Chains A and B, each alone.
Chain A
């Protein structure tokens, strides 16, 4: 992952990639959009010709010429408008298509990158948030590109017209160069400032989301923080905006200065031409009209340059980076997932530090998770339990050491292949607001529409009653904000998550990361009794499934075959409930604390717990 954490990829490669993306989005439309954009450019530029012809004819008192020139101008006006409208349509149509394509592409990349690093690491999160904001803008890119082609064509035609009067006028083109250069330079600086403000923007969005969400709304009202939230969001917004606004002012002054170079030289040329008086009225007119248009086209080109320098280049490079990140994961995946586990999973001297983090979350952990066993992981908050689970799911690779699945190095197994054989339920589960059938069914995507399979998962999670109580059974839409959607309590949502985790029939690894923290006593009891039974029978069958259970409930933990006690990023105890109780170490101490609170007369906790 080293390459991904460093700089962004080179510009040239990125630009080519983003262009080919547009072609892939819609090959026919991109051609039509380009052709009409070019066609629409001509009438505008030819306007000066018509005007010059008109004045020539007037001066020569050529009646037919005057009429012809006048009608030519009329045709240019109508035709220019029509071509403009058509080209606009074609470009919009294409931009729409491209937008859908690009956004889908970005979403697909983000959701398939196998690690969580891009979510949890500041630098990457910033990088992606910019990409996300501009994914739509990337689709305007093609429109801009054809616009540039049009502007350049106009520029060339206009310059040619000017040079037809006097070749020296061609030098006006050179006077436009500073504008283009300044534009490129300043927009780079603007972009940097924008990026520096990304975290403030993220915070503003976060606070906005809180303010508008129902879940957060409860506390916001009870705590009376409405106004505070309003001000905090504004504050974050201003922190992003103020420096940006200042930089933009400076950039604009620079641009105005660069523009004056061009405008100044143009006025100078006109004055010289008029004083020269060798030029007739027609030529002076042509010079003026064409020249003023030239200024306009130069202005357009400058703004296009700005767009490339900022959005296009930047988004393209981010996109390429993300594509590389997603692609890098299948590189070097030369080992296969065993069809069944015989030995189990072995961690050898595994250490882990979050990218960019200071301290190790896990240090030198060597552990054997035997096939067919239920292994409980206990430890205090922040001891590294969840990290251990993340490593097993291959959301991260260990910083050092190896994890081996029946001898196959997990780092060399394609993540998707490994994931197809694991399943799990988490404390911070996601509330899939779909009909129950899908909300549970996605746990085994191949059978997402299979009611029998879903009922199986629901039964294993002890959620039959919950489903039966819903107005439309499995087809009930979850989430109150959807049509006929039903809201569930937190505990009920957790059951849905658990059912999802139980959808797969033959996972090699089942991870249960505090999956019942919000469930009530009876359900938990019934659930684990049933689960213990199922796990035992699974041990007998072919797969050799390993269950890893993270829990604070020792009543549940003690049922496990093996218990791992994690403390201060190390494994401190390992063994069965009986062994660990006999040992009288940390485990037995923690167990006692919890057990004693159920004993009659237990009013306060033991002194050593303080």
Chain B
């Protein structure tokens, strides 16, 4: 849960909601298990009373209705109230009409029943637009809640393995359907449709109640027949969207649609003329998706024939009996009218709109709720006492880092925790030591790092060079605690990283990744997402050489009011400013992964001095291909085949005449020519 990652969150409303969600998510998971268990028991012959409830609770529909009040309590109450009211009114109307007919028939004053009918009717009509309003609003709120839950599910785990897992990506795409509307309508529309279906059902039930006044067996017969339609046609309403084929088609159509319409691929799409090629793939997958649904939910002839037979028989019998009683005078004129209306009106409970609207919406909600635990499991990190985080729903209280522990290691940990709790020490930086670290990604068994031993000295800078794919970025990911080493340990000031409070550790680290985030938000938020005084932001920008890039309130994306997009190099300066701002706010370990790849000559040359000055006293890890920048670092490490091949200062490595020297000379030689008489001394 994200709330646990926040060291000191004020217990805000969403935070509480998140905690509640965790609990319910866990319950849901248990519910599912319980239902399966119950089914197994049933097969064995013993059916306990609890199994029925467990099975109901495990249903997607149950989950859907249970989540509505969380979307917005007031709206959910109004929504249900209106359903009940709108369901009851037609039955009342039928009764008042019966009274009215009797009054006219008996030549008594019709004023009473007339007024009653009028009131019921006016209410009935006027409730409709309000119900539709409430339904749309509730749908929007629900959609917002589901988005929130998804954001929490994806951002909560400490690691990022869950974001790189294919299986979970499938599930995420499926769960997002409430928003995309590829399978069912979008949620704002769905909730209205479901309300319509429920009103229908309520109307039908109301009519059956009225019919009970005629004779006890009539509602049973008619109601039974209409209810049976659900059972007979059940196969036509169920569609398993979680089958591999469906998910595959859905993901492929999502991917190709985005590829076709979003800006990211726009240039290459046009240069290479790929529009048609991509759209054809989209069409094929999208079509496969609807065909799959059509195939599984088409109306089967046999059940349909049975259904019609049953309906004709039940309706015919009741109406025939009613006619006979009317002829014999056993039932009065008004009553005949009321009962006949009730018989016909009972059809509202039949298989219909609700069977279409509810399953996709309910499936979406259930999928979203199930995603949290699944992602926590994949993305969570196993190490040390952080295992406690796997248990969802604990209080979002600040983690007591100085809590006394039984083991000696905990003593060390609490000392570290106490340091961070105080905030910035006179930044000395931390010493980070890799001990025999080996690593491979969960999806790929090829090792990226193996037997890596490396110490990043406290308060000094270390540059890492190596060929593409040598494991440089992976090393950084491990350092930031995004993955855990498969072998060996990473130690921070002598304590295993896996024993540290990850949130506290990350507060001490700041990083500029190669693919840093570009927030479509004002410049201020891009530099200091969590807030900082304007002076600090200003200084950080100035340190990154981006002092007069744009106003602090300028949104950094075209397509927003007063917004403007930045060039690649300008963005890179913003990213650097973000890291420098974090340093000013107390970060002491700085990770720079190719921070100048997109900068121009002047910028590249100057920014390193700026960065090194601004991060003085911090432990700095720099990854770069440019040896001109690398040489500024205190020490340089050449990474090859997942281990350290060379380590030393620039001068030492140059003197050693190894790989580093080879690569440096290669780059330098490009500048070395007869035009420069001063020459480059190699």
Residues of A near B152 (CB, < 8 A) are 230
Chain-A contact segment, one of B212-220, B258-266, B383-391, B535-543: B258-266
Q: List 12 A-B contacts (CB under 8 A).
A: A77-B343, A78-B347, A199-B560, A214-B160, A221-B158, A233-B147, A379-B600, A419-B271, A442-B272, A481-B164, A520-B467, A555-B671
The distance in angstroms between the C-alpha atoms of A117 and B489, with both chains bound, is 51
- List of B residues within 8 angstroms of A303 by Cβ: 132
* Known A97-B290, A445-B272; contact A381-B670, beta-carbon cutoff 8 A: no
A271 and B114 contact, Cβ closer than 8 Å, known pairs A285-B101, A443-B272, A522-B666: yes
Given contacts A288-B117, A518-B514, contact A221 B166 (CB under 8 A): no
Please indicate the chain B residues that have their CB under 8 angstroms from the CB of A112 in the complex.
275-276
User: Which single residue of chain B is at the shortest CB-CB distance from A267?
Assistant: B118
Residues in B246-289 with C-beta less than 8 Å from chain A: 255, 257, 259-279, 282-283, 286-287
Among the interface residues A237, A416, A466, A497, which one has the most CB atoms of the partner chain B within 10 A?
A237
Task: Report whether A122 and B559 are in contact in the complex, using a CB–CB cutoff of 8 Å.
Answer: yes
CB distance from B556 to the nearest CB of A (A): 11
Among A70, A120, A488, A610, point to the contact of B319 (Cβ < 8 A).
A70
Residue of B nearest to A588 (CB): B675
Are B667 and A555 in touch, CB under 8 angstroms?
yes
**A473 is an interface residue with CB less than 8 A from chain B:** no
Are the C-beta atoms of A104 and B279 separated by less than 8 Å? yes
A168 interface residue, CB < 8 Å from B? no
Q: Annotate B326-354 by CB proximity to A: 1 below 8 A, 0 otherwise.
A: 11000001001100110110110011110
Q: Does any Cβ of B come within 8 Å of A393's Cβ? A: yes
Known: A214-B160, A227-B9. Is A489-B559 also a contact (CB below 8 A)?
Answer: no
What is the CA–CA distance of A252 and B477 in the complex, to the nearest angstrom?
53
Residue of B whose beta carbon sits closest to that of A518: B597
8 smallest beta-carbon distances between A and B, as pairs = A555-B670, A381-B569, A111-B275, A491-B468, A597-B628, A214-B163, A430-B265, A70-B319
Give residues 116-161 of A contacting B (CB, 8 Å).
116, 119-122, 125-126, 128, 132, 136-137, 140
Are B311 and A481 closer than 8 Å at their CB atoms?
no
Contact B163 A217 (CB under 8 A): yes
Contact of A215 among B151, B276, B290, B515 (CB under 8 A): B515
Contacts A59-B333, A199-B559, A518-B625 given; does A111 touch B269 at CB 8 Å: yes
**Chain A, Cβ-Cβ closest to B192:** A303
Instruction: Point out the residue from A108, A249, A485, A520 that lies within 8 Å of B466, measured CB to CB.
Output: A520
Say whether B122 contacts A267, CB under 8 Å. yes
- Contact: B680 with A598, CB < 8 Å? yes
- B497: Cβ under 8 A from any A Cβ: no
Interface readout for B590-610 with A: 1 if CB under 8 Å, 0 if not?
A: 010010011111111110010
Partner of B144 from the list A122, A234, A270, A605 (CB cut-off 8 Å) is: A234
CA distance A393 to B273 in the complex (A): 12
Contact partners of A448 in chain B: CB under 8 A: 277
Neighbouring A residues of B480 by C-beta, 8 Å = 218, 221-222
| B residues less than 8 Å from A47 (CB atoms) | 344
CA distance A204 to B151 in the complex (A): 11
> Contact at A217–B347, with CB atoms within 8 Å?
no
Return the contact of A263 from the options B122, B322, B511, B570 (Cβ within 8 A). B122
Q: Which residues of B contact A289 (CB under 8 A)?
A: 97, 341
CB distance from A52 to the nearest CB of B (A): 10
Given contacts A231-B14, A395-B267, contact A381 B513 (CB under 8 A): no
Would you list which residues of chain B between 175 and 232 have a CB under 8 Å from chain A?
Answer: 181-182, 185, 229
CA distance A71 to B511 in the complex (A): 78
Does B290 lie within 8 Å of A96, measured CB to CB?
yes
Residue of A116, A218, A230 with most partner-chain B CB within 10 A: A218
Within the complex, which residue of B100, B185, B560, B578 is in contact with A203, where a contact is CB–CB below 8 Å? B560
Interface: B582 (CB within 8 A): yes
A:242-282 near B, CB below 8 Å:
245, 248-249, 252, 255-256, 259-260, 262-264, 266-267, 270-271, 274, 277, 280-281
| With contact pairs A104-B283, A218-B160, A221-B482 given, residues A381 and B136 touching in the complex (Cβ less than 8 Å) | no
Interface of A is mostly: helix
Contact B260 A224 (CB under 8 A): no
A229 to B530, CA, bound (A): 9
CB 8 Å contact bits of A477-499 with B (1 = contact, 0 = none): 00011110111111110010100
Contact partner, B2, options A227, A241, A430, Cβ 8 Å: A227
Kindly supply a per-residue 1/0 record for chain B positions 113-144, scoring 1 wherever the CB is within 8 Å of any chain A CB and 0 otherwise: 01001100110111011101100110010001
| Chain A residues near B121 (CB-CB < 8 A) | 263, 266-267, 292, 295
B290, A225: Cβ atoms closer than 8 Å: no
Q: Does A604 contact B (CB under 8 A)?
A: yes
Q: Are A481 and B166 in contact (CB under 8 A)?
A: yes
Q: Are A224 and B506 in contact (CB under 8 A)?
A: yes
What are the residues of chain B within 8 A of A89 when measuring CB–CB?
Answer: 298-299
B469 interface residue, CB < 8 Å from A?
A: yes
Assess whether A217 is in contact with B154, with CB atoms less than 8 Å apart: yes
Least CB distance, A228 to chain B, in whole angstroms: 5
A520 CB to nearest chain B CB (Å): 5
Contacts of A137 in B (CB 8 A): 181, 185
Contacts A233-B147, A256-B130, A595-B676 given; does A228 touch B530 at CB 8 Å: yes
Verify A427–B568 contact, CB threshold 8 A: yes
Chain B residues in 8 Å Cβ range of A423: 271-272
Q: What residue of chain B has the Cβ atom nearest to residue A264's Cβ? A: B122
One of B260, B268, B347, B350 near A426 (C-beta < 8 A): B268
Q: How far is the CA of A214 from the CA of B164 in the complex (A)?
A: 6
Query: Which residues of B have CB within 8 Å of A125?
Result: 558-559
Please pick, from B126, B352, B578, B599, the residue contacting A381 in the complex, using a CB distance under 8 A.
Answer: B599
Q: How far is the CA of A216 from the CA of B529 in the complex (A)?
A: 14
**Contact status of A381 and B600, CB under 8 A, knowing A125-B559, A270-B117, A481-B169:** yes
Stretch at the interface among A5-13, A205-213, A343-351, A364-372: A205-213
Q: Check: A380 CB closer than 8 A to any chain B CB.
A: yes
What's the minimum C-beta distance from A357 to chain B, rounded to whole angstroms? Answer: 8
> Quick check: which of A79-87, A403-411, A541-549 contacts chain B, the rest being far away?
A79-87
For residue B634, give the distance in angstroms from its CB to the closest CB of chain A: 12
- B32-57 interface mask toward A, CB cutoff 8 Å, 1 = contact, 0 = none? 00000000000000000000000000
Q: Which of B58-66, B358-366, B450-458, B516-524 contacts A (4 or more CB under 8 A)?
A: B516-524
CB distance from A329 to the nearest CB of B (A): 11
Identify which of residues 492-550 in chain B touch chain A, using a CB-to-CB cut-off of 8 Å.
Answer: 503, 506-507, 509-511, 513-517, 519-521, 525, 529-530
| Pairwise interchain contact A108-B260, C-beta atoms closer than 8 A | yes
Residues of B within 8 A of A77 (CB): 311, 315, 343-344, 346-347
Residues from chain B with a CB closer than 8 A to the CB of A219 are 511, 513, 516-517
Check A252 against B278 for contact (C-beta < 8 Å).
no
* Nearest residue, chain B, Cβ from A212: B154
Q: CB-nearest residue of chain A relative to B168?
A: A481
Known: A210-B519, A521-B625. A274 touches B110 (CB 8 A): yes
- State which of A16-24, A60-68, A312-320, A334-342 sits at the interface with chain B: A60-68
Q: Chain A residues near B140: list those with CB within 8 A.
A: 241, 245
Q: Is B473 in contact with chain A by the CB < 8 A criterion?
A: yes
Question: How far apart sit A55 and B165, CA to CA, in the bound complex (Å)?
Answer: 68
Which partner residue on chain A sits nearest B568 by CB separation? A427
For B600, the chain A residues whose CB sits under 8 A away are 379-381, 552
A581 in the interface, Cβ–Cβ < 8 Å? yes
Task: Report A-chain residues with C-beta under 8 Å of the C-beta of B165.
Answer: 480-481
A267 and B120 CA atoms in complex are apart in Å by: 11
Contact B337 A51 (CB under 8 A): yes
Contact B129 A595, beta carbon cutoff 8 Å: no
Task: Assess the B133–A249 pair: CB atoms within 8 A.
Answer: yes
Task: Look across to chain B and name the residue whose beta carbon is closest to the beta carbon of A268.
Answer: B118
A388 at the interface (CB under 8 A from B): no
Decide: A229 near B155, CB < 8 A? Known: A260-B126, A593-B602: yes
Tell which of B133, B279, B511, B601 has the most Cβ of chain A within 10 Å. B601
Contact with B along A552-583 (1 / 0, CB 8 A): 10111010000000000000000000100100
**A234-B14, A284-B101 known; A228+B529 contact, CB < 8 A:** yes
